[in-house]
Amino acid sequence: MKHLAFDFFENDKFKGVKSPNYNYTFNKETGFFARWGKAINDDPLFSPFGCEILDIEVGVGECLGNCDFCYKCNGSNLPTTNMTLNTFKKTLQKIPKVLTQIAFGITDIYTNPDFFEIMKHSRKQGIIPNYTCHGLDIDRNAIELTAKYCGAVAVSLLDKDLTFKAIDEFTSAGMNQVNIHFMLSKETYDDALKLAEELKEDDRTKKLNAVVFLQYKSKGEQPDLYSPVKEAEKYSKLINSYNQHKINIGFDSCSAPVYLQGARLNELNKHNRTKSEKEINNKLKSLATFVEPCESGLFSLYCNVDGLFYPCSFVEEEKGWEEGLKLKEDFLKDIWYHPRMTEWRDVLLKTTEHCECQFQFNCRTCPIYDLVDCKTQF
192, 184 contact by CB (below 8 A): yes
- 172-186: pLDDT as tens digits: 999 999 999 999 999
pLDDT for 377: 39
pLDDT for 376: 41
> Which ranges of 17-113 would DSSP assign to H, the alpha helix?
85-92
State the Cα–Cα distance between residues 213 and 249, nearest whole angstrom.
Answer: 7
pLDDT for 103: 97
State the Cα–Cα distance between residues 342 and 344, nearest whole angstrom.
Answer: 5
Domain 51-377: give its CATH code: 3.20.20.70
Give Cβ neighbours of residue 361 (< 8 Å, ≥ 6 apart). Answer: 43
State the Cα–Cα distance between residues 193 and 202, nearest whole angstrom.
Answer: 15
- 282-316: pLDDT as tens digits: 888 887 878 889 999 999 999 999 999 999 999 99
What is the signed CA dihedral for 353, 354, 355, 359, rounded to 10 degrees? 20
Mean pLDDT by 10 residues, the chain (378 residues): 79 95 95 92 92 97 92 87 97 96 96 97 97 96 97 96 97 97 96 96 97 94 89 93 95 91 84 72 80 94 97 94 95 97 95 80 86 60
Kindly tell me the sign of the dihedral angle through the C-alpha atoms of 10, 14, 15, 21. Answer: negative
Residue 251 sits at φ, ψ, to 5 deg, of -160, 155
For the chain, the structural domain boundaries read 51-377
- 74-105: pLDDT as tens digits: 987 789 999 999 999 999 999 999 999 999 99
State the Cα–Cα distance between residues 60 and 44, nearest whole angstrom.
Answer: 35
Q: How long, in residues, is the chain?
A: 378
State the Cα–Cα distance between residues 151 and 32, nearest whole angstrom.
Answer: 11
Q: Smallest Cα–Cα separation from 107: which of 150, 67, 153, 147? A: 67
pLDDT for 76: 77
Residues facing residue 310 across a β-bridge: 302
DSSP annotation of 31 reads -
